[in-house]
Amino acid sequence: MKILALSGSLRAASVNTALLRAAARLAAPDSTIRLFQGIGALPLFNPDLEASDPAPVAALRAQIMAADALLIASPEYAHGITGVLKNALDWMVACEAFVNKPVAILNASPRATHADASLREILTMMSAQIIEPASVTLALVGAGLDEDGIVAHPEISSALHAALEAMRAHLHAPR
């Protein structure tokens, strides 16, 4: 199972990125979760540039297409998802990358309800398939946990492991 992880944060000490990295460490041995590294290198979305297919955009699209599923985590800014994540998603609207693509959403803050709802709306419009049992909200913001702390925390790592198993079950279910 190949999963591409997208973090909506560019911060080096991002809780959302730490959450995705922890998920990669907790994944089953036959699963790989790879964090997309180039989200900050994407040019600002401009429909006039779509035909030229900028290299960072082509790289993101190729990695999404090659993945069996996506795992997305984003902080909430001004009652929405971050600009960097919205920009990445805007680049993918005109292609087929998200059509029927299984996606799980990880929310690092129970207070980030607007970002969660906004992300779900955008993904639904893009025809992605949100895996509800694999989409979880965890109380990480303000908990002082880094990647190691998330992996070591019994309740949080258990919830994350359960989400990954739900994703696995969804991907292996007969269609």
For residue 164, the surrounding DSSP H or E stretch is helix 154-172
Tell me: pLDDT of 121 over 80. Answer: yes
Query: In this structure, what are the phi and psi dihedrals at residue 157, rounded to the nearest 5 degrees?
Result: -65, -35
The pLDDT assigned to 163 comes to 97
Q: What global pTM score does this model have?
A: 0.95
CB count within 10 Å of CB 73 equals 26
Q: Tell me if 37 sits within 8 A of 19, measured CB to CB.
A: no
Q: Which domain holds residue 24?
A: 2-172
Determine which helix (DSSP H) or strand (DSSP E) holds 125, and give its type and residue range.
helix 113-125
How many CA atoms lie within 13 Å of 134's alpha carbon, on the beta-carbon side?
A: 23
pLDDT band at 35 (very low <50, low <70, confident <90, very high): very high
State the burial class of residue 57 (Cβ atoms within 10 Å of its Cβ: 0-12, 13-18, 19+): buried
Q: Cα 97 to chain center, whole Å?
A: 14
Whether the pLDDT of residue 142 is over 90: the answer is no
Residues 6+ apart with CB under 8 A from 149: 143
Q: 69-84, pLDDT tens digit by residue?
A: 999 999 999 999 999 9
- List phi, psi (to 5°) of 88: -60, -45
CATH of the domain at 83: 3.40.50.360
For residue 143, is pLDDT > 90? Answer: no
| Number of domains making up the chain | 1
